[in-house]
Amino acid sequence: MLQQTPVVRVLPVWESWMERWPTPEDLAAEPAGEAVRAWEKLGYPRRALRLHACARELVEVHGGEVPADLEELLALPGVGEYTAAAVASFAFGVPAAVVDTNVRRVEARAWTGNALPEPSYTRAEARLAHELMPDTSTPEGIAEANAWNAASMELGALICTARSPRCDECPVQASCAWIAAGRPAPHYTPKGQAWEGTDRQVRGAMMAVLRAADGAVPAAALRTPGDPAEAGSAPQDAGLEPDAVPTLRALRRLAAGAEQRERCLAGLLADGLAVADGEGVALPA
């Protein structure tokens, strides 16, 4: 959930998720669509599908237990190097370099003198992350390595922030290469992701309609532009559940033409985030 999503947005969803599905067995027993529905507005909803698939594999292959082995973690659906390392280190005390955005920023500033890490994770960054890990040949070293993971993440999240770093409070300011260089500006201009008018925005609005409905939503209601004020009463909306009308109204407010809506709906179906149900569309079973 935390991948590319701030903690403040994740926390309430995570709490309700864990209350509903405290174990992999609990999640695996539910339809995949319920995981997508519970994902709410966290974005990148394919993560919910992968998490559901991961829960099922944990039940079917690992007896409902999360493995501690790094390679077994990497073999799970939706689990990449960062997630596998984080689970291994924080849940099982198995030392592995945990490198998220915060850690990358700390290492870029303190060791390479750059204001920001490269736009994409590089091999040089990976080498540096592993070189900075304490020696793990002893039990003490293993404990230090796991503490390093937690400390470097926290340093980046609370002190060495992207926009307003609190360098005067930083415990490594005396040896920080970026401070020594005079805190130069980033060597590139970060490009923010567009949202307004994008397929991501339209797909998200369509997913909101599907989550709000208990059953299938008329496909024509999703793919056809129309007057927001007539949402739920227009001919193409026949059969739409009343609970889904507010979200359909929000979808209709978007300046997206029929071609873009058709493309976005086709993308949701292709990604498995929605399934065709007769003349309607629903969350996956």
141-181 confidence digits (pLDDT tens): 999 999 999 999 999 999 999 999 999 999 999 999 999 99
pLDDT tens digits, 200-236: 999 999 999 999 999 999 999 999 999 999 999 999 9
193, two tokens: 């992701």
Which one-letter DSSP state was computed for residue 134?
Answer: P
Residue 112, pLDDT above cutoff 90: yes
82 vs 245: CA distance, rounded Å = 39
Domains of the chain as residue ranges with CATH = 7-92 (1.10.340.30), 101-180 (1.10.1670.10), 199-282 (no CATH)
Confidence of residue 5 (pLDDT cuts 50, 70, 90): confident
| C-alpha to C-alpha distance for 147 and 145, rounded to whole angstroms | 5
Identify the three-state secondary structure at position 4. coil
User: Which of 193, 265, 192, 188 shows the shortest CA–CA distance to 224?
Assistant: 265
